[in-house]
Amino acid sequence: MNRKLINGLLVLIAIAIVVIITKDFVGNKAGKNTPNPYEYSVDQFRQVDSAKVLYHEVLTFPVGAETLSGIALADSLVIVAAGNQLLHYDRSGKEVFRKTMSDTANCITVDKEKNLWIGMRHQVAQFDLNGNMQQQWESFGERSVLTSLAVSGDKVFVADAGNRVVYQCDRKGNITLKIGEKNEQKGVSGYVIPSPFFDLALDEEGFLWVVNPGKQSLENYNADGSLRTSWGVPGMKLEGFSGCCNPAEIAIMEDNSFVTSEKGMPRIKLYGQHGELKGVIAPPDKFDTDSYYAPDVAVDAEHRVYALDFDRKQVRIFAPK
Amino acid sequence: MESKEAPKRMDRRKLIRNGMQLSLGLSLAGVAGWSATKSSSDDLVWQLDPFKCVQCGRCATECIVTPSAVKCVHAYALCGYCDLCGGYLKPDPNARTTAAENQLCPTAAIKRKYIEEPYFEYEIDEPLCIGCAKCVAGCTSFGNGSLHLQVRHDLCKNCNECAIARVCPAEAFQRVPASTPYLIKGDFTKGKKG
Ligand code: SF4
Ligand code: SF4
Ligand code: SF4
């Protein structure tokens, strides 16, 4: 009797041990209950005081393409270059036009005459609004990686991350000035471009602003390519630009306010014309965490911000509250 | 305003980079050769895919070897040589210096060396590295992702069932041929996102 009882107890204990080990194994395998003692956390910087958030999201729509390249606005159209696709959306987010281009876009802008300028990897091409090619420039060479374009009158500015220079060209693609090459007399220290994020934009007076991404700053140039002014501080705190290559994307509003968009911990912010932080357009919690890509940004006359979200493959429109 | 295909790396600081790439290549090739002598060409060894790794910390805590047989390696070809290095510095450091309070690595296993204004080089002191992936997380989020983990085959016991593989939440571990035991970023991964 006693022996039977002991055997029964032993069996029960054996079953209990098997259950505990299996539970532990399965639980552990699923990666549960094991906090990371070495966690890399920027959570404290993701929190933004809601009083500082000046915008709210008013419309979001999907982009029907796999590879997104850039966003631009023309009249009532939202134009998205997506790989070799050119897409038009109306302001309600309805796709109204789609065309396949001959090459893959890297970046896009629209000039005052509603021409599309598209930077491929090594080349610039001009299209009409319906994607009919008007001209294609010669290649800037194998080393070139074109990342941004801006057009003002007869000047086309081309950011080349590969050669770490901005070309000022005429409309036919002839280089009239190289901007940003190291030149102590002009006060230019040269661009530091750790990865291919290198954006530029023109302010209302037509002055050129270029992001120096390795220095987390925006640089402003005179017509002769000399440095006029610059601003920007590195840092995860709200007023700073976090990590390398930020701000990865910029846009300038009609009142010369700056919209900046960061990668790593994505966030979109608004700065005044002298670089003072005005507030936040879209805080980090609006985006997927740890995005390699900063949303590309474009702005309209009503100060709305159009963000191309590369992770969610969406156009997201933010308007002042 | 730029294409968001797989990040394209720039041809910069070629001399330094090629030199460092060569030294990384040689050191891993040496280890590969050493491990190949211990195993036939058909043998398989454990390796992790750095593109799958989500930097969970288990490579440091679960390996049967102490410190872990998993180490950080640096793909110099992908590095931006940044002053503000997301893998070396804590988020929002007091200063961009080598002072201990600014360093992200819990064992100070990353050495920062000034090259020329404004470039810095980062080298892993492997005996100090515990494979915790903290630097990998920082570099992946705020840099080019050049720091990544690899199982070092001069240290790995090639367990039948790798204790890390069993718990890796990203299922990053796999068996690879002993003759090609490393999955170095920018090497086996050309064209992959990262
Ligand atoms: S266990 Fe897997 S996910 Fe975690 S650090 Fe190691 S390889 Fe990366
Ligand atoms: S942070 Fe962790 S993985 Fe990186 S070098 Fe230091 S110990 Fe190694
Ligand atoms: S096989 Fe064994 S020694 Fe090698 S990494 Fe895995 S647990 Fe560590």
Are B14 and B99 within one domain?
A: no
B99 to chain A nearest CA, in Å?
A: 17
Say what the ipTM of the complex is: 0.79
Instruction: Please give the structure tokens belonging to residue A26.
Output: 């399965």
Q: Which of A30, A38, A162 sits opposite B60 (nearest CB)?
A: A38
* B78 within a domain of the structure (yes/no): yes
Are B19 and B95 within one domain?
A: no
Are B61 and B38 within one domain?
A: no
Distances (CA, A) of A162 to A109, A141, A166, A303, B88: 20, 10, 10, 32, 25
Helices (H), chain A: 2-29, 43-46
Are B12 and B22 within one domain?
A: yes
Residue whose CA lies nearest to ligand 2 atom number 8: B129
pLDDT tens by residue, A81-104: 999 999 999 999 999 999 999 889
Q: What does pLDDT average to over chain A?
A: 91
Residue whose CA lies nearest to ligand 1 atom number 8: B53
* B192 within a domain of the structure (yes/no): no
Find, in chain B, the residue whose alpha carbon is nearest to that of A260: B1
Query: Among candidates B121, B133, B53, B38, which has minimal Cα distance to B82?
Result: B121
Cβ within 8 Å, pair B56-A36: yes
Distances (CA, A) of A5 to A1, A9, A17: 6, 6, 18
* B152 within a domain of the structure (yes/no): yes
Are B110 and B34 within one domain?
A: no
Across residues A194-209, what is the average pLDDT? Answer: 94
Are B14 and B94 within one domain?
A: no
Q: Which pLDDT band, with edges at 50, 70 and 90, does B14 fall under?
A: very low
Please name the residue that has the structure tokens 């290095």.
Answer: B85
Rounded to whole angstroms, the Cα distance separating A257 from A240 reads 16
Q: Which pLDDT band, with edges at 50, 70 and 90, does B27 fall under?
A: low
Dmax over Cα atoms in chain A, in whole Å? 104
How many domains is chain B partitioned into structurally?
2
Across residues A165-186, what is the average pLDDT? Answer: 93
User: b vs e for A100-111, b when ≥16 Cβ sit within 10 Å of the residue's Cβ?
Assistant: ebeebbbbbbbb
* B29 within a domain of the structure (yes/no): yes
Are B118 and B132 within one domain?
A: yes
Are B72 and B36 within one domain?
A: no
pLDDT for position A45: 92
Q: What does pLDDT average to over chain B?
A: 81
B159 to chain A nearest CA, in Å?
A: 17
User: b vs e for B16-33, b when ≥16 Cβ sit within 10 Å of the residue's Cβ?
Assistant: bbeebbeebbeebeebbe
Across residues A60-88, what is the average pLDDT? Answer: 95
Interface of A with B in 177-216 (CB under 8 A): 192-199, 214-216
* B69 within a domain of the structure (yes/no): yes
Find, in chain B, the residue whose alpha carbon is nearest to that of A43: B91
Cα distance from N-terminal residue to C-terminal residue, chain A = 81
pLDDT tens by residue, B89-111: 998 888 888 888 899 999 999 99
pLDDT tens by residue, B109-142: 999 999 988 899 999 999 999 999 999 999 998 8
| Boundaries of every domain in chain A | 49-320
Give the CATH superfamily of A49-320. TolB, C-terminal domain (2.120.10.30)
A86 to chain B nearest CA, in Å?
A: 13
Q: Is the CB of B60 under 6 A from ligand 3?
A: no
User: Do residues A290 and A64 lie in contact, with contact meaning Cβ atoms separated by under 8 Å?
Assistant: no
If one counts every other C-beta atom within 10 angstroms of the C-beta of residue A320, the result is 14
pLDDT for position A29: 53
Are B78 and B140 within one domain?
A: yes
Are B104 and B143 within one domain?
A: yes
Across residues B21-37, what is the average pLDDT? Answer: 52
pLDDT for position A208: 97
Are B35 and B55 within one domain?
A: no
Q: Ligand 3 test: best mutation among B38, B63, B155, B161, most atoms within 8 Å of CB?
A: B63
For chain B, say whether A109 makes contact (Cβ under 8 Å).
yes
B29 to chain A nearest CA, in Å?
A: 28
Q: Is the CB of B167 under 6 A from ligand 3?
A: no
Interface of A with B in 32-61 (CB under 8 A): 34, 36-42, 45
Which residues span the domain enclosing B13?
1-42
Query: Among candidates A155, A70, A79, which has minimal Cα distance to A120?
Result: A70
For chain B, say whether A235 makes contact (Cβ under 8 Å).
yes
Are B32 and B59 within one domain?
A: no
